[in-house]
Structure 1
Amino acid sequence: MKPEIHPNYQKVVYMDINSGFKFLSGSVKGSSETIEWEDGNTYPLIKMETTSDTHPFYTGRQKFADKGGRADRFMQKYNMKQDN
Structure 2
Amino acid sequence: MKKGIHPDYHPVVFRDSQTGFQFLSGSTKTSNETVEWEDGNTYPLVLVEISSDSHPFYTGKQKFTQADGAVDRFNKKYGFTDANKAADKK
TM surpasses 0.5: yes
**SS of residue paired to 1:31:** coil
Give the greater-gyration-radius structure (CA): 2
Q: Which runs of 5+ in 1 are unaligned?
A: 70-84
Q: Which runs of 5+ in 2 are unaligned?
A: 70-90
User: Larger % of helix: which?
Assistant: 2
Q: Deviations over 1:36-76 (max 9, x none)?
A: 100001111010010000000011014x687xx8xxxxxxx
Distance in 1 between the 2:4 and 2:32 partners?
A: 22
**SS of residue paired to 1:11:** strand
- The aligned counterpart of 1:13 is 13
- The aligned counterpart of 1:81 is none
Structure 2 residue 14 is matched with structure 1 residue 23: no
1:4 deviates by: 1.4
1:15 deviates by: 0.2
What stretches of structure 1 move > 2 A for 4+ residues in a row? Answer: none
